[in-house]
Structure 1
Amino acid sequence: MYTHERHVITHGKPLSQTGKALIMIHGRGASAESILSLADYLPVDDFSLFAPQASNHSWYPYSFMAPTEQNQPALDSALDQIHDLVKSMAGEGISSQNIYLLGFSQGACLTSEYAARNAQQFGGLFLFTGGLIGPQLDTSNYKGNFKNTPVLITTGDPDPHVPVSRVEETVQVLEAHIAVVTKKIYKGRPHTILQEELELAKEILTRTQESE
């Protein structure tokens, strides 16, 4: 078992210039560089991008629906890494509504878990094929108020890693904490991110920028 070395790749202008951050969390077996490449398809030229790198290219060793203790201490270490990143941005005077979070697969699971445990008004959450972590959801873990944060959550039906039922449960938790959720389930879609999913993310990013 392992804890994560703190290694974050940044891209774009410094946060002091942009005032807006997109934190991008990669999936199992992938890298910070690979998730950063998604930025080429999103309207984020005016954002500072941050992509943490998991040790061993995995945020936790087993399935996100395995008994939670099997994924420790890696899971807590991964959650702490996101929390510390958000906290450091707050320390630079960046409000939570100017912080956006994006993840794919294992990264989307980690992102949803972090956000639900620390609900606040984020700029937006983009959960590409993921859901809350654990064999069953312990709703006492989830605290705070998203204050109408827009959330995009997607998966395939079936998906080899993320059952539709867990996506549905995740939507219920996020909405209970006052998130505005767009859910898309794609029949027969492989474990990937479709162009349509990126278009939906673009819409949220454009809408939130226009409302500033």
Structure 2
Amino acid sequence: MKMKDLSLYHIIKEPTVQKEKKAALFMFHGYGSDENDLFSFATELPDELFIISVRAPYPMQPSGNAWYAIYMDPTKGKFSDDKQAIESRDKIANFIDEAIEAYNLDADNISLLGFSQGTILSYAVALSYPQKVKNVIALSGYLNEEILTDSYTSNDFSKLNIYCSHGTVDQVIPIDWARKAPVIFTKLGIETSLNEFPVGHGVAPQNFFQFKEWLSSKI
């Protein structure tokens, strides 16, 4: 199957086990990367998944892409462009709907896998529009409450599952930031915990096998 011409550039891997309704996994890469990064996991993931790896909409120089800009300011330090992040949140939500129709996906079995900035956006989409998402695999990211919809706390999260992991020596996103997410999820009635691994800003092999097993049990 060829990639369809949808609103966000993406690459796909079709399931090798065909079912009447296709469960789908959307991949969202980190800042400065592209759609090929997480796609390297695709052949090792459950055979029944239709996998879509998405390129972030903002090109960077000399290469790579971003879901939103990150600025360095002498007084404020490093900060994110939340307005741009909200725009990307809604671009992703719209793209999920497009892809479901274009590729005949099971709208009730949609999983998101994000890394770093891709995790921040995956959290934002899932908490803002939980009716669109069944599972989230959140790697090396954190929850930015500033980019969620205003009334997100009143959403129905009863069908949402979240797997979170982080490196204990991550120098890009401190693990203390990541540890806040499960606390907030518990208040929303989403049971999860942070899986910690002795690595930096990356995915350890044991981390991969753990989230693969988790995903297999949820789709």
- Which bracket does the TM-score occupy, shorter chain normalised? 0.7 to 0.9
* Structure 1, unpaired ranges of 5+: none
Q: Greater shift after overlay, 46-55 or 113-122?
A: 113-122
Task: Check the 8 A contact 1:41/1:198 in 2, yes or no.
Answer: no
Q: TM-score, normalised by structure 1?
A: 0.79
State whether structure 2 residue 29 is matched by structure 1 residue 19.
Answer: no
Match of 2:209 among 199, 204, 207: 199
TM-score (norm 2): 0.76
Equivalent of 1:80 in 73, 80, 90: 90
Q: Which amino acid in structure 2 is aligned with residue 197 of structure 1?
A: N
Distance 2:78 2:187 in 1: 24
Partner of 1:173: 184
AA aligned opposite 2:83: Q
Q: CA separation in 2, counterparts of 1:66 and 1:174?
A: 26
Give the count of matched residue pairs. Answer: 199
Percent of pairs with identical residues: 21
Alignment match of 1:106 (pick from 89, 105, 117): 117
Where does residue 130 of structure 2 map in the other structure? 119
Structure 1 residue ranges (4+ consecutive) displaced by more than 3 angstroms after TM superposition:
13-18, 65-68, 89-97, 120-123, 136-141
Please state which structure has a larger fraction of its residues in strand. 2
Query: CA shift at 1:77, angstroms?
Result: 2.7
Which position in structure 2 is the counterpart of 1:161? 172
Q: Distance in 1 between matches of 2:67 and 2:132?
A: 25
Q: Which residue of 1 aligns with 2:12?
A: 10
Distance 1:80 1:140, change over 3 A: closer
Secondary structure of 2:40's aligned partner: helix
Does 1:36 pair with 2:39? yes
Segments of 5+ residues of structure 2 without an aligned counterpart are 1-6, 60-64, 72-76
Describe the superposition over 1:151-206 as per-residue Cα deviations: whole angstroms up to 9, x where unpaired: 1111122322222222222112223333231411224x121101111112122222
Q: Are 2:61 and 1:59 aligned?
A: no
Question: Alpha carbons of 1:23 and 1:137: their partners in 2 closer, same or farther (altered >3 Å)?
Answer: closer
**Superimposed CA distance per residue, residues 86-142 of structure 1 (whole angstroms, 9 cap, x where no aligned partner):** 2235557755540000011111111112212222473321001011126x7879453
Structure 2 SS opposite 1:175? helix
